[in-house]
Structure 1
Amino acid sequence: MLKLENVQKRYDGYSLDCSLELRTGYITGLVGLNGAGKTTIFKSALGLISVDGGGIQIFNKELKDLTAEDREEIGVVHYDSGFSGYLTISNLTVILKNLYKKFDKEGFEQKCKEGNLPFNKMIKNFSTGMKAKLKLIVAMSHHAKILILDEPTAGLDVIARDELLDYIRSYMQEGDRSILISSHISKDLETLCDDVYLIDQGRIILHEETDVLLDRYGLLKTTNEQYKELDHQHIIRRYKEAYGYRCLTDHKDFYVHKYPDLVMEKGTIDEVLTLMIRGERL
């Protein structure tokens, strides 16, 4: 669906150099700290900024070869974009009908009703959750094959986030579709994504199937003495703490069985990201 190969973008004091693939039928998560390069990847993939090297393909075509019809197959949500506050949903319906050949007016209005979005109220008077919900519904309204979602749940409470995640899951039930999504709330991605890319300072530092990450990765806590006696062959990163070491492994069961007395915590996306960034490579 979408493929980035050694895509490079240079700014003063920052450079992006990464490869990433969004497969058919997958929800792929992109996780990293602020400024790690997530939004730069999205903007590069959409052709919103020029790149300094590498290649980008969507639907097995180079970006420059995409037709207007191809671009209609892409739905986008940017965390820092939105609609004119003086529009209403009724106004927006007319605009979308003229923008997209495959705009599903009935489905769009039904989703807005289900989301309790008022049709004749100006968008500037919507709550944060209502605006986020509207952006996602619009992105899904023209039957796009790819959704690119940049922090779609940013600033939302738990209930609003759950509603948006339900929309995303239901969207994937209809045919061969794919979603690339970033979020500061890694817990959302653990329950949603099929695979996850971790990015730091413009580089992909880990790509893993979500099930594998949650099942096989773990955090081992040792004293200094225990660490000296530890078999290090499956330790990816270590981090020195006051009491000893915190170690990241992708073979959790190996250490659980070989060292049953040591503390082993289940790996989460947040913990793995933290250790991959702050930890020392052996």
Structure 2
Amino acid sequence: MNDRFVVVGAGTMGLGIAYVAATAGYRVDLVEVDPDRAASAGGAFGRLLDRAVERGKLSADEAEQGRGRLTLRSDLAEVADGPDVIVEAVPERVDLKRSVLAAAAERRPALLATNTSSIPIAELAGAVTDPARFIGLHFFNPVWAMALIEVVVGPATAPETTEAAVALAGRLGKDPVVVRDLPGFATSRLGVTLGLEAIRMVEDGVAAPADIDKAMVLGYRHPVGPLELTDLVGLDVRLDIARTLQSAYGDRFAPPPLLEAMVEQGRLGKKSGHGFYRWVDGVKQ
């Protein structure tokens, strides 16, 4: 199988997308301009494969094949023209995404997608040469474990592009929902609402973070509480999404001062080792 899948951005989401693509049989180019982050992603990719073998999800041979399918690149210009898929997975900043998408479009992929959780597809489509082949693919963290993917249809997205994206989701082992192109789509509007209110509850001294999370896990059967989920997603990511939604829908999505202060202090959650919880070697304390 020689299908080619390109991921731009080797952060948490980009790494996860690259992993599920490689284990689905794609040859994957993972593009990351920061050499330290690229090296870290390469090591993390190998550890994901090792853990999959330990859990019986992959055989040793399958894991070795997965390793062989990943190539780290430092620039999109190193990627050969005409890949089957390019997914942009850089941080939630419009200017950055538009710049990356413009460069990605020059590689002439059959399908070009943005992994965004809140930015309207229409706001990004102006950066690409063929918006009919452009779509949103909102993956969920951790990508290798979460079955859901939002397929976000932009105003110019062609029906065959939507069909191709739904088929891609199936190949990656994901269960898609197709949503209209409105800020926050379906999941971010609901999920961020809950997360922001939980942060306000911490501000108000309603309860400790662990007890707020326990209330949602035991009382509403959520698999993880909203504050732990904020740590997993990244407080900086949640802040970017909240600001995008505030711009679209008003101050009901205004970020709490506590969230802004924690991001300013570098308390970003699991990836920094400290958010609403302490994290040591990726494990909540």
Q: How does the TM-score come out when normalised to structure 1? A: 0.31
> Could you say which structure has the higher helix fraction?
2
TM-score by length of 2: 0.31
Greater fraction of residues in strand: 1
